[in-house]
Structure 1
Amino acid sequence: MQTAPDPKRWFALALLCLAAFMIILDASIVLVAVPSIERDLSFSAGGVQWVPSGYALMFGGLLLLGGRVSDLLGRRRVFIAGLLLFGGSSLLCGFAWTGDALVFARGLQGIAAAVLAPSALSIVMNTFPDGAERNKALGIWGAVSGVGGTAGSLVGGPVTDGLGWQWIFFINVPVCLLVAVLAPAVLTDSRGPRRRGFDIAGALTVTAALIVLVYAVIEAPGSSAGRTALLAIVSAALFALFVLVEKRSNAPLVPLRIFRSRALVGGNLITIAFGLGAFGLNFIYTQYAQLALGASAVKYGLMSAVLAATAVVGSIVGQNLVTRFGVRPVAAVSLVLTGIGATVMSRVAVDSGYFELAFWGLSIFGAGLGAGCVAGSIAALSEVAGDDAGVASGLQNACFQIGGAVGIAVLSAVAVANTAGSSPTALTSGFRVAFAACWAFVAVGLVGTSLQLTRSADRPLEPAPSTSH
């Protein structure tokens, strides 16, 4: 017999979504401040990429460990600890005196987010029962994540120009304190199965593999083909070592049995694709608006507002469509929409009017992004048992964050490789090719949709008779 649902569950969801919005926003808000940070802290053009990528790598690379830690030590306890570390590292970011200090502090932020995000999502999954309510809760969660990934430029512009880039980090502190104070009274605690060990070897190997991979992509335009290939081989070897470690571990970071679920594997491929596109396209659009068009941070934020707005609408519509039609058709259409939006963006020029191309490209891309993030989140978590909630949510979040780090690196490399000179026209030429390259990310996501073949993924995710909306 099922226990009565928690009467505070929707307030708890709101609190958890606030924390989730903050950590996803922090990954994207920094993009608009990159020119100011680069100027104030004397970063090199290549070095400043580590400000967004360092956060995303530590976040994504350690999410799997963070999910298991939350399962073993108690999800509410780990959630509150993550909040405190996130607030403290945000202060350190704001007070950073050198580029190296900022990259280090961003890494600490990523570590905090790596324990905060999966503990929050696993609390959601254990607070809501299977069926319609869980799907609705996961849909809201996915919508918040999608909006957080696109709203950074809208928020970051006024903050950067008005208060200084340091305040994009300082604003996290009161949010962390508020949520930490309310969490004990609102959130229920839960644990996964009792297992000894945290599989540190697995965490180190997978994180190292990801760092080497992103480093190889970032450095590729200025490196020889042989050096890039060597780094790629090292990354692949570390991934293989990670799999070997997991097979032999008594308490694996990622139980390989969870990959038997086609819905989980496909859902995470969809999530990777939207992470690649969301962060990659947003980063290139930031560069195009500020470097090629000469827009201020505030003007850029206003220009990109349509992306966040249509992502909100897309996520709301997407949640209802997934409930009615299932993940596969919604995800496929959403991916194609992002590809069409990127194609429109690939036609921009230095003298393009905003409402001529960019407005429509961002609108189409945002609608697909919002709906697709919801579909990917529901697909990746819909078949997960409660005991694996932490590790599965960590994996799903890791896919979005790592996709973001790789997306920035890949599209930046494409833009650099297709730019000859530093004039606005030359820069725009490279940006156009980078926008068009987003179709490679769409292809990754479509592979994921093809795996949504299980009964639970192919049919509507909640029984029609129990639907009240």
Structure 2
Amino acid sequence: MEEPDPRRWRLLGLLAVAQFMLILDVTVVAIALPHIETDLGLRRETLTWVVSAYTLMFGGLMLLGGRAADLFGSRRVVLTGLIVFTLASLATGLANGPELLLGGRVAQGIGAALLSPAALSVVTKTFDGEERNKALGIWSAMGGGGSAIGVLLGGLLTAGPGWQWVFYVNVPIGLVVFAVLWRMLPVDLPATRDGRIDVPGALLVTAGTGTAIYALINAGDRGWLSLATLGTLAGAVVLYGVFAWVQRTVRSPLMDLRILTRRPVAAGTFLILVATALMIAIFFLGSFYLQHFQQYGALRTGLLFLPVAIAAIIGAQVAGRLVGHVGARLVALVGFLIAAVGMAVPAIWDGAIAIVTGTTVGTIGIGAAFVAASTTTFAQIDYREAGLASGLLSTFHEFGASLGVAVVSSVAAASLSGTVSTGFTRGFTFAAITAAVAAALAVVVVPAFKSSTGAVHAH
């Protein structure tokens, strides 16, 4: 039997740092958004796209990244994605208007979409058995912690050298990680040489989701049941339908849609979609509440999210240890119930203490739900499908982020641009109800099995 590479844990650490950067970049802008809004004169809708443009491209092209890892080898795709993300971060920091800002965010998303599933594929191939449980516990903690720590780091950088540094900080880290990974990543053979990259499929699924997000962002102003909102959502459904048709007819589809008919995969993707939407929603609401309504500075706001960062890591680590013993269904149920209780706190009580306490408690549950999502998705995945499944799970993660910020931006529209707190109350109430409904659905959709071999967590 071949001895495992003794450097495998160091390699995991480097890949986790790279992944940490990608997930951090979803939330690191949360604290900086009010400052970007002032400096560049952005409207609420445009400001929402600063988050959604990145997560949309990240999610929309994730399957393409997973497929590319299978076709060209994980090493090439990891390094390509990392350098694209790093250079795009530099361009975004240099932005002096909405065009370059959003263009840079799009490019960051493209780099992230290549890097993330390829890096995750390396992890799944490097570890096995109980070691994989431990490795993916670290991966989960870095990903879940990245979302929360992004808000803290965003506050420190925005209050210090300026909001541009929430993007500039990626440059030196990215270059160092690239140089080390260039030497450490093993040269791997492609998982398959039969096939092509389905670019039309990737563009269609991205366009469909982008159209849906556009409708949700503007629903707060146009009305949720207005002709414009419903018509735009119908357009998104049509684009998804065309995507499904293309996947059934092209020679080398982006994905085999039949994978979504497997109960574990469908359940896992549902769990991660909801968990990420809730995570991003409460960060978005909390940041604007503390800065716009309470008039706290960026540094104070960032520091108040420190317990939230710790909570995300604790939730993922505890769930990673328990999921093999009690099963993903129970972890998901308890995780979403904890999230619902946490988000009910700022929905019922007003004030900074309620915001911080509620988001801290809620994030423990969301971190656990992330682990339940990954263990469920990968419970019955074949080795040859690792790249596709990694990309699929990560796709729903980023789509969840895009949809979460789009919906709460509309639900809380009045409070984001004004001085009333009713929009924030509605936003947290909506999030708490969503978490409670997800807990109930988890009992129905998540299979009742225990994983002893480990599973992959997208973020």
TM-score normalised per structure 1: 0.92
Cα separation, 2, equivalents of 1:126 and 1:421: 48
More displaced 10-residue stretch of structure 1: 187-196 or 367-376: 187-196
Partners of 1:142 and 1:377 within 8 A in 2: no
* Aligned 1:380-399 pairs, distance under 5 A: 380-399=377-396
Q: Is residue 2:378 matched to residue 1:377?
A: no
- Paired position in structure 1 for 2:287: 286
- Structure 1 residues 213-362: aligned runs within 5 Å: 213-223=212-222, 225-349=226-350, 352=351, 354-355=352-353, 357-362=354-359
Q: Match for residue 466 of structure 1?
A: none
Which moved further from structure 2: 251-260 or 401-410?
251-260
1:98-113 map, 5 Å: 98-113=97-112
Q: How many Å separate the matches in 2 of 1:460 and 1:420?
A: 43
Whether contact under 8 Å (2:288, 2:416) holds in the other structure is no
Quote the residue 1:467 is aligned against: none
Which residue is 2:457 aligned to?
none
Task: Say which is worse superposed, 15-24 or 142-151, in terms of deviation.
Answer: 142-151
Residues 220-270 of structure 1: CA deviation (Å, up to 9, x unaligned): 122250011100100011111111111112211111232243112111111
Q: Is the 8 A contact 1:311 1:366 kept in 2?
A: yes
- State how far apart, in whole Å, the 1-side matches of 2:259 and 2:136 are: 19
Distance 1:320 1:250, change over 3 A: same
Q: Is it true that 1:422 corresponds to 2:423 in the alignment?
A: no
Shift of 1:100: 1.2
Shift of 1:9: 1.3
The superposition leaves residues 182-217 of structure 1 with CA deviations (integer Å, 9 ceiling, x where unpaired) of: 113322243222222111111111000000000000
Alignment deviations for residues 165-192 of structure 1 (CA, whole Å, 9 cap, x no partner): 1111111011111111111332224322
CA contact (8 A) 1:139 1:377 kept: no
- Structure 1, unpaired ranges of 5+: 464-469
- In the alignment, the residues of structure 2 paired with residue 134 and residue 273 of structure 1 have an alpha-carbon distance, to the nearest angstrom, of 25
Identify the match of residue 173 of structure 1 among 167, 171, 175.
171
Distance 1:449 1:308, change over 3 A: farther
Retained in 2: the 8 A contact 1:272–1:445?
no
Inter-partner Cα distance in structure 1 for 2:297 and 2:387: 41
One-letter amino acid matched to 1:276: A
Shift of 1:445: 5.9
CA distance in 1, matches of 2:323, 2:195: 38
How many Å separate the matches in 2 of 1:434 and 1:394? Answer: 30
TM-superposed CA distance for 1:64, in Å, is 0.7
Residue matched to 1:22: 21
User: Does the 8 A contact of 1:268 with 1:448 survive in 2?
Assistant: no
CA distance in 2, matches of 1:187, 1:226: 52
Paired amino acid for 1:187: L
**8 Å CA contact retained: 2:375, 2:451:** no
- Aligned to 1:46, what secondary structure does the other structure show? helix
1:10-34 alpha-carbon deviations (Å, 9 max, x no partner): 1111111000000000111011100
Structure 2 counterpart SS, 1:274: helix
User: Pick from 437, 450, 453: which aligns with 1:459?
Assistant: 450
Per-residue deviation, 1:448? 4.5
Per-residue Cα deviation, 1:103-142 (whole angstroms, up to 9, x for no partner): 011100000000010110011011112x212222222212
- AA matched with 1:370: G
Q: CA deviation at 1:383?
A: 2.2
Structure 2 letter corresponding to 1:437: F
- Corresponding position of 2:121: 122
Which residue identity lines up with residue 418 of structure 2 in the other structure?
Answer: S
TM-score by length of 2: 0.94
**Which amino acid counterpart does residue 22 of structure 2 have in structure 1?**
I
Helix, strand or coil at the partner of 2:266: helix
Question: Which letter maps to 1:149?
Answer: S
Gaps of 5+ in 2: 455-459
Is the Cα contact below 8 Å between 2:292 and 2:416 reproduced in 1? no
Please, what is the CA RMSD of the aligned residues?
Answer: 1.7
Q: Which residue of 1 aligns with 2:403?
A: 406
Sort the Cα spacing of 1:449 and 1:69 in 2 relative to 1 into closer, same or farther, 3 A: farther
The reply on whether 1:94 has 2:93 as its aligned counterpart is: yes
Find the counterpart in structure 2 of residue 146 from structure 1: 144
Distance change (3 Å), C-alpha of 1:77 and 1:446: farther
Q: Residue 291 and residue 6 in structure 1: after superposition, are their counterparts in 2 closer, same or farther (change >3 A)?
A: same
Distance in structure 2 (CA, Å) of the matches to 1:370 and 1:299: 24
Distance in 2, matches of 1:159 and 1:421, equals: 23
Tell which deviates more after alignment, 257-266 or 285-294. Answer: 257-266
- Secondary structure at the residue paired with 2:61? helix
In structure 1, C-alpha distance between the alignment counterparts of 2:247 and 2:416, rounded to whole Å = 46
Which residue identity is paired with 1:447? L
How far did 1:440 drift?
4.5
C-alpha distance in 2, partners of 1:240/1:226?
21
Determine helix, strand or coil for the equivalent of 2:296.
coil
Choose 188-197 or 61-70, whichever is displaced more: 188-197
Give how far 1:381 is off: 2.2
Contact 1:159 1:165 in 2 (8 A): yes
Report the Cα distance in structure 2 between the residues aligned to 1:56 and 1:90, rounded to whole angstroms.
14
Q: Is the 8 A contact 2:201 2:253 kept in 1?
A: yes
Percent same amino acid at aligned positions?
36
CA distance, structure 1, for counterparts of residue 438 and residue 373 of structure 2? 13
The 2-side partners of 1:421 and 1:51 are apart by 16
Q: 1:123 touches 1:189 (CA, 8 Å); kept in 2?
A: no
The verdict on how the C-alpha distance between 1:103 and 1:234 changes in structure 2, with shifts beyond 3 A counting, is: same
2:38 counterpart of 1:39: yes
